[in-house]
Amino acid sequence: MILPVAVEDVKREVKILQALKGHENVVNFHNAYEDDSYVYIVMELCEGGELLDRILAKKDSRYTEKDAAIVVRQMLKVAAECHLHGLVHRDMKPENFLFKSTEENSPLKATDFGLSDFIEPGKKFHDIVGSAYYVAPEVLKRKSGPESDVWSIGVITYILLCGRRPFWDRTEDGIFREVLRNKPDFRRKPWPSISNSAKDFVKKLLVKDPHALASTLDEDELANLRDQFQAIDVDKSGSISLDEMRQIDSNTDGLVDFTEFVAATLHVHQMEEHDSEKWRLRCKAAFDKFDVDGDGYITPEELRMHTGLRGSIEPLLEEADIDKDGRISLSEFRKLLRTASMSSNVPSPSGIRNPQKF
């Protein structure tokens, strides 16, 4: 007998796969079929094996900093894409990342969204799910959100760099106690030989207070949105092309509006809620990145410079330019940011054959 909850789980996973379809670091969804007994989900073939297997095959089961950075960047792009859609993966671990091919430089693909779920801004999950070694403290406290994915990536990064788990015990309950009570060890080898920037990065990911996680960047980093641009600038051209902008088209209408762009480059609501002063500073820093000539307004030319759009940008101005003077002021920019991350819509599933049989 198939329980209704199992049917809902399958339908949700298909919806999630469709929402993330086309992202370079998510296993591609082709279609879903069903017969009288089963549902068959057809996905991209990944022949390179699990990330876990590659870790174990490395000398001392650890990556170089350079190679680890390549892997972690791809995982963070998956998390960013999920969170842009109001989705939390909830089970990020090396076994759930596959390599497309056996080539050393093969792209990494996230898979297994069976525990993933959509979440509304400000809401929390109250169940405990995931894998013990990678579960975030807030999950164990039954108050988790998107930040739990960041914690899991932090655990994976720790493993990539040193070949050991940051929290370990012989039992699951023991692991949970370690996660809640203790801090990762950065004193044992090879950590003394690992760069301070790498250690600092891991520590920022493994922050036990999820509210503090949104404020782990220093002011210099906040003033420079280079990392956010690089996350979208797939071809490393230094500008964001229309094709790359489509990767963050949250409502899948084929057009990337300014709201979607800003939502993809700044986690607005967490910043505003956590510290209003830091919110104002970050908002101004983001505005200044667009306001190249420093005249206090973002002009159409400056929008073109930062988005790489060659055609009309009037739809972008229409959305942001409240007083219709043909440019965007700081106050208009702030108002836009306050609603930016609320604007993403997830497409409903349309590729399931005979969905009424679920």
Tell me the DSSP string of 30-47: EEEEE-SS-EEEEE----
- 139 and 70 co-located in one domain: yes
Q: What is the pLDDT of residues 57-113, one digit of tens each?
A: 999 999 999 999 999 999 999 998 898 888 999 999 999 999 999 999 999 999 999
Could you tell me if 87 and 179 lie in one domain? yes
Give pLDDT tens digits for 165-198: 999 999 999 999 999 999 999 999 999 999 999 9
Q: Does 270 share its domain with 319?
A: yes
Amino acid symbol at 222: L
pLDDT at 190: 96
Residue 226 amino acid letter:
R
- Whether residue 164 contacts residue 63, with contact meaning beta carbons closer than 8 Å, is answered with no
Q: Which residues contact 143 (CB under 8 A, 6 or more apart)?
A: 124, 125, 126
Residues 38-76: b if buried by 16+ CB within 10 A, e if exposed: ebeeeeeebebebbbebbeeeeeebbeeeebbebbebbb
Whether 91 is catalytic: yes
Domain endpoint, select from 198, 213, 228: 213
Mark whether 187 and 255 lie in a shared domain.
no
Q: Is the dihedral of CA 131, 157, 205, 265 positive or negative?
A: negative
Q: Is position 271 within any domain?
A: yes
pLDDT value for 266: 45
* pLDDT for the residue 121: 78
The H-or-E segment that residue 274 falls in is helix 268-274
- Cα-flanking dihedrals φ and ψ of residue 248, to 5°? -115, 20
β-bridge mates for residue 88, sequence order: 117
Q: Report if residue 228 sits inside a domain.
A: yes
Residue 5 lies in a domain: no
- The predicted pLDDT at position 315 comes to 66
The verdict on 300 and 155 lying in the same domain is no
Q: How many domains does the chain have?
A: 2
CATH code, domain carrying 305: 1.10.238.10
**Which pLDDT value is given to residue 89?**
96
> Of the listed 35, 60, 91, 117, which one is catalytic?
91
Residues 123, 204 within the same domain: yes
Write out the residue range of the structural domain in which residue 192 sits: 51-213
Is residue 17 domain-resident? no
Query: What would you report as the CA-atom Rg of the chain, rounded to the nearest whole angstrom?
Result: 21
Answer for the pair 228, 176: CB distance below 8 angstroms, yes or no.
no
Question: Is position 348 within any domain?
Answer: no
> Rounded distance, CA 172 to CA 330, Å?
50
Give the number of other Cβ atoms within 10 Å of residue 114's Cβ. 14
* Tokens describing residue 16: 């999630």
Regions in the chain scoring below 70 on pLDDT: 1-4, 211-279, 282, 306-316, 337-358
Within a domain: 319: yes
Question: Which CATH number does the domain housing residue 172 bear?
Answer: 1.10.510.10
